[in-house]
Amino acid sequence: MTLFLTPETAQFRETFGVAHALMNAPMADIAGPALAAAVSNAGGLGILAADFMTPEETAAAVKELRGLTDRPFAVNVRSPARGAFDEKGAAETEEALEALKADLGCAGVRFSLPDFEKQLDVLIALKVSAVSVTFGGLREVYAEKLTAAGIRMIAAATTLREVKVMRSAQAHCIVVQGIEAGGPRLNFEVADTEAQVGLMSLIGPAARVSNVPVAASGGIMTGRQAAAALMLGAGAVQAGTVFLAAPESGAHPAHKRALQFASDSTTRLTRVASGRLTRVIANGLIEAAEEARADRAAYPAQLSVMRPVEVAARRENRDDLMEFACGQGACEARALPAAQIAEKLIRECAEAGFDL
């Protein structure tokens, strides 16, 4: 059987030096060195999520990853938030959850995102092959630094307008995130109400206006879905939830167990975890926080209050208080080694006629 290799997929492979145009999603706390290495070793482009890592932790994780693979990989970092910090909203959320945080031993504790520019300096010094930038968009000043260092850049968009902005930023690949995707929405140029386009509706228009490959992201759990994305014009696929239950995944065991009981309608959107719309499996915390109106602060103010709750909940094994981020199609997740999952996606895509 002759497989169809699209020009966009060929371009992605050549640009990033990989055998297959498959990436794992940069899931914070979950996509660590083990998962990224497994995807890279399977021929894809593994992505290390350094979202919450200090520059020192980022450097250590990159070195650990290099000990697990000699193949190309990318590192994801979060661009600084735009606009003023919503201290009023953070204080209101803190007050609403005062008793809960006291019970967890994190009353009044706030989280701060790592220094983005120092993270970039670390990645440039370590000469990583690719950097993924999410949340705030790939701004020109950062793109220039990465370009000067010869580092490939991956950006993310949720609408056609954002794709056009990232095209101007000289990204080498633009991930288009459909509303089906698990975790936080990656919009940076449009309001949450606009950033809810379905993946199948987004891929085609995005591919037509982009001068670089677009990677389809959101609810992709099978190779047939990957093939459909390629047919619509995507040059690559970025999958997250499908890897959640893998042994290499950093997801808490309770998070992995929750997938066993997931259905096609299990997930929903909430702002509780970070202030951004986030697709999760709802639990007691989500419902209680929304009822107490403890979900009104903007990102990253809401995150600053809620991140300590997540850390404490994981430490204390409080599955009723953890964030179970995952995409639609979570019921398809299987507890297989990440390499087998990647190989299965590639094989199923080939069975549908496309060379991923």
Any domain includes 36: yes
Any domain includes 241: yes
Structure-token match 């169809």, residue found: 4
Any domain includes 235: yes
> CATH number for the domain including 226?
3.20.20.70
Q: Supply the range of the domain harboring residue 127.
A: 7-351
- Can you give the pLDDT at residue 212? 98
Any domain includes 356: no
- Can you give the pLDDT at residue 136? 85
Total structural domains within the chain:
1
Cis peptide before 114 (omega within 30 of 0): no
Q: Are residues 176 and 203 in contact, defined by beta-carbon separation less than 8 angstroms?
A: yes
CA dist., res. 251 & res. 232, Å (int): 31
Any domain includes 13: yes
Any domain includes 34: yes
CA 335, 228, 177: angle at the middle one, nearest 5? Answer: 70
Helices (H), 232-297: 253-260, 284-291
Any domain includes 288: yes
- Can you give the pLDDT at residue 82? 85
> What is this structure's pTM?
0.97
Any domain includes 2: no
- Of 187, 80, 62, 42, the C-alpha closest to 125 is 62
CA dist., res. 169 & res. 186, Å (int): 16
The residue ranges of the chain whose pLDDT is under 70 are none
3-state secondary structure of 77: strand
Structure tokens at 308: 């300590």
Chain segment 246-257, per-residue pLDDT in tens: 999 999 999 999
Chain segment 292-327, per-residue pLDDT in tens: 999 999 999 999 999 999 999 999 999 999 999 999
